[in-house]
Amino acid sequence: MPVESDVALPLPGEGQIRVRIEACGLNFADLLMLNGTYQDTPERPFTLGMEVAGIVDSAGPGAGHFAPGTRVAVFGGQGGLAEAGIFDAARAVALPDGMDAVAAAAFQIAYGTSHVALDHRARLVPGETLLVLGAAGGVGLTAVEIGKRMGARVIACARGADKLEVARAAGADHLIDAGTADIRAEVKALGGADVVYDPVGGEQFTAALRACRPEARILTIGFASGEVPQIKANHLLVKNVSVLGLYWGGYLSFRPEVITRSLATLLGWYAAGEIRPHVSHVLPFDRAKEGLELLRTRQATGKVVIRIPD
């Protein structure tokens, strides 16, 4: 389990900013890092917390566009569960007026993942049917919201009436209880899926694949079930189905403009009141472990955010 420690506060280097952190959004990937199974797990020791919001208090050479006092959100990949952090300025975005630290800390990964997946990768178009698995989770809920914003008919799949109600409030047109329903049969009864958004994997992936329409696209976002599905290529062939991987953070290393454009669009939608992060738990810093447990046991809906004390 993570431990707490005090370290000296360094100065930012070339192209870096130092941020006084106000809030940190937790992600399922934080749990994977603890187990050493995330694709970008840093070498130990490291500080958990992939995304933060706060105020720039110092800028290194080459990062002057983020002057001290600028409110920012940062996808740092680590380092968020701390009072301050040094981050690459290229990973920061200035916050619009009216966006508080909790909303900002819950924004980048969840909305960015879903928007790049649905818009850039799957090329979702109005009128198509989008099936979202894990539809009440951190990324799944934003896929429901963004899919509806893009003009799709959205089928939300989640466990239990309470989580399905959260998905309905985000814009889902049809609801499927993953704990009791035959996902394949219910999706097929609704005409099948053109696009599948899957952060779950396992048996739900298999059921969704069998409910796809010809030329459907399946987005593999993650494997919260703990089971990476093994795909039979002949099933893809028969229906001309495409399986598309999506690792949002990976774009920073080879096509950062994809993320930049996406976040500009998303922040515009936020400023216009068209999307709003759903945060089920806001916890103080000394309850960060409890926040991680909420993710592990799937008790949270949307995001869990940790407030960092002044």
Distance separating alpha carbons of residues 154 and 146, to the nearest angstrom = 10
Q: Residue 180 has which token pair?
A: 């009791």
| CA angle 245–249–255, rounded 5-degree value | 85
The dihedral sign for the CA sequence 99, 100, 104, 110: negative
Distance separating alpha carbons of residues 116 and 248, to the nearest angstrom = 7
Cis omega before residue 45 (within 30°)? Answer: yes
Which DSSP letter does residue 122 get? S
What is the β-pairing status of strands 303-307 and 16-26?
A: antiparallel
Cβ atoms of 239 and 159 within 8 Å: the answer is no
pTM equals 0.91
Distance separating alpha carbons of residues 284 and 306, to the nearest angstrom = 6
AA letter at 292: L
**HSE (CB half, 13 Å, CA atoms) of 284?**
3
Q: Where are the beta strands (DSSP E) in the chain?
A: 16-26, 51-59, 71-75, 84-88, 92-94, 129-133, 153-158, 174-177, 193-198, 212-220, 242-245, 279-284, 303-307
Q: Give the per-residue pLDDT at 4.
A: 58
Across-strand partners of 175? 156
**HSE (CB half, 13 Å, CA atoms) of 228?**
2
Nearest to 120 by CA among 211, 222, 247, 297: 247
Each residue's pLDDT tens digit, 138-190:
999 999 999 999 999 999 999 999 999 999 999 999 999 999 999 999 999 99
Residues (pLDDT < 50) of the chain are none
Distance separating alpha carbons of residues 183 and 27, to the nearest angstrom = 26
Q: Residue 170, SS3?
A: coil
Q: Give the per-residue pLDDT at 3.
A: 55
Cβ atoms of 56 and 70 within 8 Å: the answer is yes
If you search the block for the tokens 């509806």, which residue do you land on?
A: 148
Q: Give the per-residue pLDDT at 35.
A: 86
Run of H or E including 155 = strand 153-158
Q: Give the per-residue pLDDT at 10.
A: 84
| Interior/surface letters 225-235, b for 16+ CB within 10 angstroms, e for the rest | beeebeeeeee
Distance separating alpha carbons of residues 297 and 309, to the nearest angstrom = 26
Q: Give the per-residue pLDDT at 7.
A: 63
